[in-house]
Amino acid sequence: MVKIPKRHEVCRKFKEQGGKVAAVLPIHYPRALLRAFDILPVEVWGPPQVDVSYGGAHLQPYVCSIVHNALSFLKTGGLDETDIIIVPHTCDSLQGFGSILLDFVKPRQPVFPIYLPRGKRSEDVEFLVNEFKSLYRGLEKITGKSPMDDEMLKRIEIEEEADAKLKELYEIRGEFSFESGKTKSRSSKGEALSTYDFYRVVRAREFLPAEKFIEIADEVISEYSFVRDGVPVILSGIVPEPMEVLNAIEEAGGFVVVDDLACCGRRLYGRGKSSEPLKRMAERIIFGPPDVTRGNLIEERFEHLKYLAEVTGARGIIFYTVKFCEPELFDLPDLKNMLKSAGVPSVQVEIDIGDPLPHQTITRLTAFLEVLA
């Protein structure tokens, strides 16, 4: 079992060394900018096990469980150790969450929204750069620091290295290359990580400092092998919660060879080029893998998923969606039809991240995998 430090220990240690901790809501934000201010971003994807009645006092029942749980978590003290809250405008639900914090709940921590452009034009890059400038000014006031360009570029390079390492992990485990297709099997060594264990490592990127993540990824690459049995499939959606779904897929004879999850594969940003730090951060996000919440077209998502199926040998796609997630649900009917026409079958299951994995979901996944086998 790979040893991953616990989230609260990571936060405590970071603060003991003089840094601050930011609670960051999904999905896209400039990690390097926060680190340049000695702030550790720790992401909040729910979490699953909370008493949701606290959030329910402020939210309509048709708001997704990520937002319900996050608000309940905050109201029950789950974010008390954090110093800042960052809310990217990922969707209407998160925009609503940001407004509730600013206008009603008013937490002790300062709240910074980030508005994301919905395109890839030069105007979109400029818009996001301006958002980051505004965040920079806010963080200056809180920390009293004003990192220079060279400090920010240094932080960007470390984050780029961590993302490259994450990509490498996917490639070695799935025996493929994101750029050029199938690769040779690496002779196996060490303990074999299950899908669940692999995703524990991948998702450690949500809270570990990039340097520590690189260290753990290197350890996995050199000392572990991977369970690769089963029908290769792509897992798409927002977040693999409850994480038991990964065991359920494996037990039903599937192998998640790669993913298109908002918390994982949709954030495999490439290395940037610009020497202007804020522009480089903005470009990395805007030109990252297609994501409906950044306004990418269904056609782009279709091409991306079809390409992933080609290079990995995946025989189908599991759309694992969060109930009431409008951005995802808007795309799915057309996206699934386009994939079907291209010979890529898919199945869609909906979950609430706070619920145990329903038997009905396991049955549907099992039936889908049996058909693909």
Enumerate binding residues for ligand SF4 (CB under 6 A).
26, 64, 66-67, 90-91, 93-94, 238, 293, 322, 325-328
> Which residue's structure tokens are 């893998």?
289
Helices (DSSP H) in the chain: which residue ranges?
7-16, 31-36, 53-56, 65-75, 92-100, 122-143, 149-174, 195-203, 210-223, 244-251, 277-286, 298-312, 326-341, 359-372
CA distance 216 to 222: 10
- Choice between 11 and 94, CB closer to ligand SF4: 94
To the nearest whole angstrom, how small is the minimum distance from the Cβ of residue 92 to ligand SF4? Answer: 7
- Choice between 272 and 327, CB closer to ligand SF4: 327
Structure tokens at 372: 């693909």
Pairing of strands 176-177, 181-182: antiparallel
To the nearest whole angstrom, how small is the minimum distance from the Cβ of residue 291 to ligand SF4? Answer: 9
- Choice between 94 and 257, CB closer to ligand SF4: 94
- Choice between 109 and 293, CB closer to ligand SF4: 293
Structure tokens at 289: 């893998």
To the nearest whole angstrom, how small is the minimum distance from the Cβ of residue 67 to ligand SF4? Answer: 5
| Cβ atoms of 237 and 204 closer than 8 Å | no
Nearest to 293 by CA among 339, 237, 240: 237
To the nearest whole angstrom, how small is the minimum distance from the Cβ of residue 331 to ligand SF4? Answer: 11
- Choice between 32 and 325, CB closer to ligand SF4: 325
To the nearest whole angstrom, how small is the minimum distance from the Cβ of residue 97 to ligand SF4? Answer: 8
- Choice between 72 and 90, CB closer to ligand SF4: 90
| Cβ atoms of 344 and 305 closer than 8 Å | yes
To the nearest whole angstrom, how small is the minimum distance from the Cβ of residue 116 to ligand SF4? Answer: 11
Instruction: Name the 3-class secondary structure at 314.
Output: coil
CA distance 176 to 183: 5
- Choice between 160 and 352, CB closer to ligand SF4: 352
To the nearest whole angstrom, how small is the minimum distance from the Cβ of residue 311 to ligand SF4? Answer: 26
> Which residue's structure tokens are 């990395």?
284
Structure tokens at 154: 């240094």
CA distance 244 to 249: 9
- Choice between 71 and 309, CB closer to ligand SF4: 71
Phi, psi for 21 (deg, rounded to 5) = -120, 135
- Choice between 22 and 220, CB closer to ligand SF4: 22
Phi, psi for 147 (deg, rounded to 5) = -60, 140
Burial class (CB in 10 A: 0-12, 13-18, 19+), 295: middle
Instruction: Give 237's strand partners.
Output: 261, 320
> Which residue's structure tokens are 């039936």?
367
To the nearest whole angstrom, how small is the minimum distance from the Cβ of residue 198 to ligand SF4? Answer: 23
To the nearest whole angstrom, how small is the minimum distance from the Cβ of residue 326 to ligand SF4? Answer: 6
Amino acid at 94: L
Nearest to 372 by CA among 305, 316, 307, 318: 316
- Choice between 169 and 235, CB closer to ligand SF4: 235
To the nearest whole angstrom, how small is the minimum distance from the Cβ of residue 66 to ligand SF4? Answer: 4
